[in-house]
Structure 1
Amino acid sequence: MSRVFSSGSLRVGLVQMCSGRDIARNLRDAAALVREAADGGASYVQTPEMTTLMEVDRERLSALAEPESANAALGELSELARELAIWLHIGSMVVKASPDKLANRSFLISPKGEVAARYDKIHMFDVDLPNGEVYRESASYTPGTKAVVAALPWGGLGFSICYDLRFPYLYRALAQAGASFLAVPAAFTRLTGEAHWVTLLRARAIEAQCFVFAAAQSGQHEHGRETFGHSLVVSPWGQVLAEGGVHPSVIFADVDLSMIGDVRSRVPSLRHDRTFTIEADGKAAQEVAS
């Protein structure tokens, strides 16, 4: 992918939602907020993880999921992107990947209403939180195996979803592959969000020297879990350019595209990676490509 950085600006709109168990209602909510973002001048609009369905019951989740080829929600959102003539990034949707497994999949839809790129979440959120919440994404979802950088008119867009945020090597690889922007649509829990959300997003922006766009779920969901909100746009220098609150809304940011090249010239760390070896407890050295 080209390393020539654009000048000018891009208006980004991030849609913050509190999705529930009713797909039709979630679609109506998403469409209204996407229209608000487009009316506000955004050319790239991103929705959060699990835009169309927030569900923890595996049987109900599987019963409601549809394969991509016959996904009615994806069809409606694609038509919306075409109508509004925007780049619409559906942070993620549940899609049926096989008869017994699902995928947590992002879709980038072009202004023509066509799927320009897709990405399946790589890292599965399998944790037991101190407040008693238990998450086992791997019980329902098949993890992705491919990182993705898609071409936008303004530069490369690197994909990720939520828990991927805790794995910095993914973002380094995306930047090295030509990403100028990193997408982190999420449904961060309130507990982990309060502790780490802003810090991690700023760190990924600084490390990868990319703009970060992170649309989030927020609030108390029908299944009883609570998400953090605070959708963010972060500059390659680590500055928070826009931040959402805790309610469904749209946040906007005008990003100066020349900043990517400026930051990478000032601190050329993406050109300074080295291969090295690591030795632990006197055991044989292992080669690591940083």
Structure 2
Amino acid sequence: MKSAVSSSLLKLKNLLNPNPRPSLTSLTSVILPKLSLSSISNHTAFKLLPSSAATSCLRRSISSFKPELARVPSALTLPQPPFTKFKIGVCQLSVTGDKKRNISHTKNAIEEAVSKGAKLLLLPEMWNTPYARGSFRAFAEDIDAGGDASPSTAMLSDVSKRLGITIVGGSIPEKSGGRFYNTCCVFGSHGELLAKHRKIHLFDIDIPGKITYMESRTFTAGETPTVVDTDVGRIGIGICYDIRFQELAMMYAARGAHLLCYPGAFNMTTGPLHWELLQRARATDNQLYVATCSTARDYGSCYVAWGHSTLVGPFGEILATTEHEEAIIIAEIDYSFLDQRRSNLPLNKQRRGDLYQLVDIQRLNK
């Protein structure tokens, strides 16, 4: 009996994780094979009911669940993007106290990623400045003024236009109206600023003996969730701590996002516990892609980042990741898998609108 149970558990483990990741100690980045849809759909558990019986059961359930009421306003239909299959470049970068070096180094990384086929670039949180309160203020830029007042975003605009790519520009410290914000700028393939996301949830935590950090002592919280249409799909933007709040990701999914991008810099306490877990949860719950990008780890810094930038697929599968050193990940995104996954697990049709709702206040008040 014991051996039979162990065998069953092993088969279940292999089913849920058919592509276990190898040790990444010696790698700068690794691209992993996608989870096979057939390995799941062909499993015995999915064949217990005849197709007609399963369909009939599903229809009866949907008729009473009122899924259309689970999102207020109703969830938008997933739009058809100009590109449905493309490569993303995730640039996990080292950061120094030399701002000009950081800008030049980031530009070079973007160009390298594009040379390898990337059409979308994702940068880390605070890529132009050390992660320290004093540096935030000293390195802050007036993004709205542009030009010499914001050399970091001027570089991103120039590179995106010159190379014809979309850039989710990590984040930099922004100064505006006497306040400071942790801000992500998204640039389109013509160099235009498509969106500016100010970090909504500020990183204020206190874990005694581990880490205490109060981001609100420097930054003001943003007030606007950000979903932006680009050449590579509709993208929802969050910054680091924003990933912990599932309501924001659910809102982005209801607004028709194909992909969520989270520049971040989780630390050595919460990173090992939650960084991958949260990415896979946001992707699985909302059945979309999630991409994250951290700075590289620097043990000499006052804030040590966990690293491990990652791309997660809509079944929660790790498609590409890296360790903590500086690295550029090149991975493929294929939006055709979104419809497949949502057809296999029709969560959008099974939500209990008769029991709960997610209210998108901004859309409701328009």
Q: Which residue of 1 aligns with 2:200?
A: 122
Q: Which residue of 2 aligns with 1:234?
A: 312
State the 1:179 CA deviation: 0.4
Residue range with higher mean Cα deviation, 193-202 or 125-134: 125-134
Residue type at the aligned position of 1:85: G
State the 1:98 CA deviation: 2.4
For 1:89 and 1:79, the matched residues in 2 are separated by 14
Q: Is the 8 A contact 1:51 1:91 kept in 2?
A: yes
The SS at the match of 2:167 is strand
Residue type at the aligned position of 1:62: R
For 1:4 and 1:110, the matched residues in 2 are separated by 18
For 1:109 and 1:65, the matched residues in 2 are separated by 19
- Larger % of helix: which? 2
Q: Which residue of 2 aligns with 1:161?
A: 239
State the 1:129 CA deviation: 3.0
TM-score (norm 2): 0.72
State the 1:14 CA deviation: 0.2
State the 1:35 CA deviation: 0.9
Say if 1:39 and 1:125 are closer, same or farther in 2 by CA, change over 3 A: same
1:174 pairs, out of 252, 264, 271, with 252
1:254 maps onto 2:329 in alignment: no
The SS at the match of 1:185 is strand
State the 1:202 CA deviation: 0.5
Structure 1: which 5+ runs fail to align? 278-286
Residue type at the aligned position of 2:181: A
Q: Is the 8 A contact 2:166 2:188 kept in 1?
A: yes
The SS at the match of 1:103 is strand
1:24 maps onto 2:100 in alignment: yes
In the TM superposition, what whole-angstrom CA distance separates every residue of 1:38-78 from its partner, at most 9, and x where no partner exists? Answer: 000000010011111124234x4323312111312111121
Whose relative contact order is higher, 1 or 2, with alpha carbons under 8 Å and at least 6 apart?
A: 2
Q: Is the 8 A contact 1:21 1:55 kept in 2?
A: no
Say if 1:25 and 1:34 are closer, same or farther in 2 by CA, change over 3 A: same
State the 1:273 CA deviation: 3.3
1:86 pairs, out of 141, 153, 165, with 165
Q: Is the 8 A contact 2:188 2:230 kept in 1?
A: no
Residue range with higher mean Cα deviation, 20-29 or 228-237: 20-29
For 1:17 and 1:33, the matched residues in 2 are separated by 8
For 1:131 and 1:111, the matched residues in 2 are separated by 46
TM-score (norm 1): 0.90
Q: Is the 8 A contact 1:156 1:178 kept in 2?
A: yes
For 2:101 and 2:280, the matched residues in 1 are separated by 33
2:140 pairs, out of 52, 59, 65, with 65
Q: Is the 8 A contact 1:121 1:161 kept in 2?
A: yes
Q: Which residue of 1 aligns with 2:118?
A: 42
State the 1:170 CA deviation: 0.6
For 1:270 and 1:26, the matched residues in 2 are separated by 43
1:212 maps onto 2:305 in alignment: no
Residue type at the aligned position of 2:165: I
For 1:111 and 1:289, the matched residues in 2 are separated by 33
Q: Is the 8 A contact 1:176 1:270 kept in 2?
A: no
For 2:244 and 2:251, the matched residues in 1 are separated by 14
1:185 pairs, out of 263, 284, 288, with 263
Residue type at the aligned position of 2:292: A
1:200 maps onto 2:278 in alignment: yes
State the 1:222 CA deviation: 5.3
Residue range with higher mean Cα deviation, 263-272 or 75-84: 263-272
Say how many residue pairs are matched.
279
Say if 1:73 and 1:267 are closer, same or farther in 2 by CA, change over 3 A: same
The SS at the match of 1:52 is coil
The SS at the match of 1:88 is strand
For 1:239 and 1:56, the matched residues in 2 are separated by 33
In the TM superposition, what whole-angstrom CA distance separates every residue of 1:203-250 from its partner, at most 9, and x where no partner exists? Answer: 100001110111111211654221011110000011100001211110
Residue range with higher mean Cα deviation, 171-180 or 73-82: 73-82
Q: Which residue of 2 aligns with 1:284?
A: none
- Larger % of strand: which? 1
The SS at the match of 1:229 is coil
Structure 2: which 5+ runs fail to align? 1-75, 360-366
For 2:314 and 2:264, the matched residues in 1 are separated by 20
Q: Is the 8 A contact 2:311 2:320 kept in 1?
A: yes
What does 1:125-164 align with in structure 2 at a 5 Å threshold? Answer: 125-164=203-242
